[in-house]
């Protein structure tokens, strides 16, 4: 089955983009909160400009989301971007890119449980096997011993703290993905998937920036955080990651949440370590071992099992989506 143009392909593209961004984020000499604040503000500017250009050229309305979608996307922003990304950045600082990524591969497990319990999603045995094989291959790749040059050494802490913050980030990102999945499912126009996903990305990132601004203003740290986050030297390090991650990467992930089952989308998006292998080789000069290569092959087999044997894969949303209650509605 070809996955070209589908939600599964978008999830893999998101993984590749996030893999690129993780190398830049790991080098930034900023606290996890400063880094998250800076990337949210910069990405929101890029996304607003992108959506303005898109809607101007197509003659469509700038904001088409209804109240229900805005609520889901805002909650997704709070849990997945504001809280989840901050935990992930802290784990990245402590463990380094490859060890932090092995912890982040637990996100599909959380998402599968959430999708099964809350969304009543049923997965075939082949898909469940594929998810397990994919996670196994990814874990094999990133469990190799990391070299000293890969660790930034910024704000060090214990390995236990790195694992705990990574697990917290995975859980928050799985919850955020679930809320985004619900928001994107509430659509009846498959032809507008690219524009709708871009609008959803803009909403999530802009809301995250606004929440960060409110929190920093309330605790009196807005000025100091902004000065550190937008210092020229720091910007040179992490701005490429802003382009790859919260702009293009989240856009691709929104397409995946719209056009795929939750567990499948987040599993494929968690193949970041596979894409990190050649990047680490180029950036750090780290040799790719047979163990890493074998893990990549296993993960690719798992990806095939996950997406190729699914009956009625939702390449597009149903014409009459089920009525979804608001998050706080009984």
Q: What is the pLDDT of residues 3-12, one digit of tens each?
A: 444 688 888 9
- Tell me how far CA of residue 236 lies from CA of 26, 29, 46, 145, 240, in angstroms: 13, 11, 16, 29, 8
Q: What is the pLDDT of residues 193-202, one digit of tens each?
A: 678 889 999 9
Question: Exposed, middle or buried, 276 (CB in 10 Å: 0-12/13-18/19+)?
Answer: buried
State the chain's mean pLDDT as an integer.
80
DSSP letters spanning 140-178: HHHTSPPPGGG---SS---HHHHHHHHHHHHHHHHHHHH
C-alpha 252/C-alpha 103 separation (Å) is: 22
C-alpha 272/C-alpha 22 separation (Å) is: 9
Least confident residue range of 7-16, 73-82, 257-266: 257-266
Answer yes or no: is pLDDT of 67 > 80.
yes
Q: Helix 97-104 and helix 7-25: axis angle, to 10°?
A: 140
Which has the closest alpha carbon to 172: 83, 94, 52? 83
Answer yes or no: is pLDDT of 123 > 60.
yes
Q: What is the pLDDT of residues 46-63, one digit of tens each?
A: 999 999 999 999 888 888
C-alpha 159/C-alpha 94 separation (Å) is: 7
The predicted structure's pLDDT at residue 328: 34
The predicted structure's pLDDT at residue 228: 95
The predicted structure's pLDDT at residue 187: 58
Six-digit token string for 135? 């996670």
C-alpha 135/C-alpha 133 separation (Å) is: 5
Question: Exposed, middle or buried, 117 (CB in 10 Å: 0-12/13-18/19+)?
Answer: exposed
Question: CB-side exposure of 323: number of CA atoms within 13 Å?
Answer: 2
- Categorize the per-residue pLDDT at 329 as very low, low, confident or very high, splitting at 50, 70 and 90: very low
The predicted structure's pLDDT at residue 330: 31
Answer yes or no: is pLDDT of 319 > 50.
no
Which 3 state secondary structure label does DSSP give 277?
Answer: helix
Q: 285 or 87: which carries more pLDDT confidence? A: 87
Q: What is the pLDDT of residues 128-179, one digit of tens each?
A: 888 888 778 777 766 666 555 555 566 778 878 888 998 999 899 989 988 9
The predicted structure's pLDDT at residue 142: 65
- Categorize the per-residue pLDDT at 213 as very low, low, confident or very high, splitting at 50, 70 and 90: very high
Answer yes or no: is pLDDT of 327 > 60.
no
All structural domains of the chain with their residue ranges: 7-308
Which 3 state secondary structure label does DSSP give 118?
Answer: coil
- Categorize the per-residue pLDDT at 102 as very low, low, confident or very high, splitting at 50, 70 and 90: confident
Q: What is the pLDDT of residues 230-253, one digit of tens each?
A: 999 999 999 999 999 889 998 898
Helices (H), 83-231: 85-95, 97-104, 107-117, 125-142, 159-185, 193-218, 222-229
Q: How many whole angstroms from its chain centre is CA 26? A: 16
pTM of the model: 0.79
For the chain, how many residues are written?
330
Q: Which residue has the tokens 């703290």?
A: 161
Q: What is the pLDDT of residues 283-294, one digit of tens each?
A: 766 677 787 778
The predicted structure's pLDDT at residue 49: 96
């Amino acid at each position: 089955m070809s996955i070209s143009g589908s939600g599964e392909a978008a999830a893999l593209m998101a993984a590749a983009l996030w893999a690129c961004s993780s190398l830049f984020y790991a080098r930034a000499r900023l606290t996890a909160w400063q880094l998250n604040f800076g990337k949210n503000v910069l990405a929101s500017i890029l996304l607003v400009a992108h959506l303005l250009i898109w809607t101007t050229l197509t003659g469509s309305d700038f904001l088409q989301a209804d109240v229900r979608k805005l609520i889901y996307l805002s909650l997704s922003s709070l849990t997945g971007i504001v809280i989840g990304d901050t935990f992930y950045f802290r784990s990245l600082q402590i463990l380094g890119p490859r060890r932090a990524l092995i912890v982040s591969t637990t996100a599909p497990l959380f998402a599968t449980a959430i999708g099964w319990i809350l969304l009543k999603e049923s997965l075939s045995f082949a898909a469940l096997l594929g998810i397990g094989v994919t996670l196994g291959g990814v874990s094999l790749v990133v469990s190799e011993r990391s070299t000293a040059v890969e660790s930034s050494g910024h704000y060090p802490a214990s390995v236990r703290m790195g694992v705990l913050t990574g697990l917290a980030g995975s859980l928050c990102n799985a919850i955020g993905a679930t809320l985004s999945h619900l928001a994107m499912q509430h659509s009846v126009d498959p032809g507008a998937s690219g524009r709708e996903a871009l609008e959803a990305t803009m909403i999530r990132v802009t809301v995250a920036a606004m929440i960060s601004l409110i929190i920093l203003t309330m605790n009196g740290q807005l000025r100091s955080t902004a000065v550190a986050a937008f210092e020229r030297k720091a910007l040179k390090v992490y701005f490429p990651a802003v382009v790859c991650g919260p702009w293009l990467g989240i856009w691709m992930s929104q397409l995946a949440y719209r056009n795929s089952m939750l567990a499948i989308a987040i599993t494929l998006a968690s193949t970041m370590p596979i894409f990190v292998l050649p990047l680490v080789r180029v950036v750090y000069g780290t040799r790719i071992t047979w163990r890493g290569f074998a893990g990549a092959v296993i993960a690719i087999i798992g990806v095939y099992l996950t997406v190729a044997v699914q009956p009625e894969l939702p390449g597009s949303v149903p014409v009459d989506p089920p009525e979804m209650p608001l998050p706080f509605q009984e």
